[in-house]
Amino acid sequence: MRRLTIAACAMTALLVGSPAVGDVIVQDGGWADRPYVEVRYGDLNLDSQSGIATLNKRLTAAVMTVCGDDDIRLLREHMAVRNCRSDTMEQAFADRDAVIAAHMAARNDPTRLAAMELPALRVHR
């Protein structure tokens, strides 16, 4: 009974702590022959801290997906993945900042805000 309770708690933590399946779309190739992930943000309120925090979580998950897993025992692979994550994270958050700045600039003009397209951010290597 105790094992079942521990397993149920672990599964709940995993489901609650990870982004929803529909948040991140993984696509390999087709975009300059590099793997990339599209992160959608049209459902988020970018005027709120919680909306920006959710976007940050989605971007972080996308970076982890694009750069892959590493094995600490393989130093070269570990360093390559670490560098990939660092560079990709920097670019992803720069793109995020541009989206938020455009949203903030259009906030005072409802017609301009309504006309803004909400494409997905592309996170790539």
Q: Encode pLDDT of 27-62 as tens digits.
A: 444 445 678 889 999 899 888 999 999 999 999 999
- Specify the pTM: 0.68
> Does 14 reside within a domain?
no
Q: Is residue 10 part of a domain?
A: no
Residue 2 lies in a domain: no
Burial class (CB in 10 A: 0-12, 13-18, 19+), 79: exposed
Q: Does 15 score more than 50 pLDDT?
A: no
| Residues spanned by the domain of 63 | 21-124
Q: How far apart are CA 11 and CA 28, in angstroms?
A: 28
Residue 101 lies inside a defined structural domain of this protein: yes
pLDDT in tens, 58-99: 999 999 999 988 887 888 899 999 999 999 999 999 999 999
Could you give phi then psi for residue 24, rounded to 5 degrees? -125, 130
Q: Which of 29, 18, 12, 15 is nearest to 124 (CA)?
A: 29
Q: Which residues of 49-69 are buried (b: 16+ CB within 10 A; e: fewer)?
A: eeebebbebbbbbbbbbbbee
Count of structural domains within the chain: 1
